[in-house]
Structure 1
Amino acid sequence: MQASATPSSSFPSPIVRPGILVISHGSRDGGWVALVDEAVEAATIRLQQPAGPVPVVSSFLEIVEGRLIQDGVDELLERGVTDIFVLPLFVSSGATHVDDIMQAFGQPPAGLREGELEVFHVGGARIHPGRPIDDEPEIAELLLANIRELSRDPASEALLLIGHGSREPVFHGRWREGMTRMAERIRAAGGFARAETAMLLPDQAACKLSAMRRKRPDERVIVVPLFLSQGYFTTSVIPGRLSELEYEYNGRGMLPDEAVVRWMQRQMLQWLEQAGG
């Protein structure tokens, strides 16, 4: 893939007009889009530079017509931006969508897989990639708060974190590594006995939960979904995969929550400090 973007991790030009492009998946559910927009808007409150407010655009990989990634890039370019910080609002760096997006911005592929998106036209702007969630501490705190009402005695309880996952080796490994670190963060912070992880792709959830129940039948297991918001995967897929197995679950997603705002804002501010330095 030949990209027209100019990838960069530094600021060689003395004139830097920063802009931020937040990218999430997109949905036909207007409520889901509104949750993302509200979080992005809240994260921009402190984004001031000597030249004034930093332009921030919320865009989507697909479905949301008129607000796709190229639309967002075009809007930032129209506002005179020279450097674009691309913040992927995705759960894991193992998401192939994240690799597709970054390749289309001229970044190297995560593995041998070629990206599925057409190259974005960035008009000479420098591209600076941000990070998906993986095991960020703010989100670990959020997930722990989500499950506290389900817990009675953490020292005698186990956690099972369930994420979307991937069958592709490089991306499967990234999912596994990020989920494992996140599970340990939550386990340690909450004082739980142990924590395991499972993916929906490949289908691991029921097998992992069955093994946990067989090994320690008296141990309560709390299932923690790793999804941005409640929806099809949290309300239908996970309960359907786990079927008649015994577990505790409330299906809560990450949005809406101020922790997601703090996570985005931290990345934005760190990048702007670098831009101003």
Structure 2
Amino acid sequence: MDFYGKTALVTGASRGIGRAIAHALAHQGMGRILLVARDAQRLAMVAAEVEHLGAEAIILPVDLTDPIQANVVIARAWQHYGPVHLLVNCAGVAYQTPFLQAKLPQVQSEISTNLIGLYTVTRLVARRMAVRQEGCIVNVSSLMGKVAAPTMATYSATKFAIVGFTQALRSELAPHHVRVVALLPSLTDTDMVKGFDWFRGVQPSTPEQVAAALVRGLKQGQTEILVGWQSHATVWAQRLAPWLVESMIQLLAPGKPVPPRQRPVRST
């Protein structure tokens, strides 16, 4: 994919992986980056960073779980700033809770943001890309969209759904010359996982490593972009010996609470 002079729209851009992706796209010569998230103040900070890297930055504070609000904001942005060549759906939330203790508001929050929000913005942008017969859509799933994790049941379910949605959309939009890609990071050291009990033996990626993997994958024409050797090894093991992977997950799953000093200090 040629990034130079193009326009990207990145959701969840105020922090973590979304922020790192905005930086990486600016480094690649992206001309304009539309930054989408709920927090206008944080978006303004990221916009200043992006412009320092040479790209024009436009902040779009919006709650993507509100379809009407999202529709208005995206339509106006397209009208005022021209067509979007690259959409990166990065907005997401996660709660780590055993299923039997999960609270419905948390479940609804994960589904609303991770699925409904993603679907809403994708629908708005994909229709316009199809008319123009060009574009690329990146849906940020997770390694948990391939291998589900205990204590993350709803999050895993939404990430599995994103992988399926991406596969279906890839076939549907191919005749319109719109490319659809899934990005599958493993555990990433961000605000979102601050305070989580990590799986034993898992080495977290940084947001910058995830962003770099995305850029490489888009340049290489990949349809599913895994991040890090552990992700590749896990997916291959899941294909060849799913029973072994399930046993390993049960063995490495969080048990006793992790002391505060061992928890992530960075957040997404």
> TM-score per shorter chain, which class?
0.3 to 0.5
What TM-score results when the alignment is normalised by the length of structure 2?
A: 0.35
Which has the larger helix fraction? 2
What TM-score results when the alignment is normalised by the length of structure 1?
A: 0.34
Q: Bigger radius of gyration, 1 or 2? A: 1
Q: Tell which has more relative contact order, 1 or 2 (C-alpha 8 A, sep 6+).
A: 1
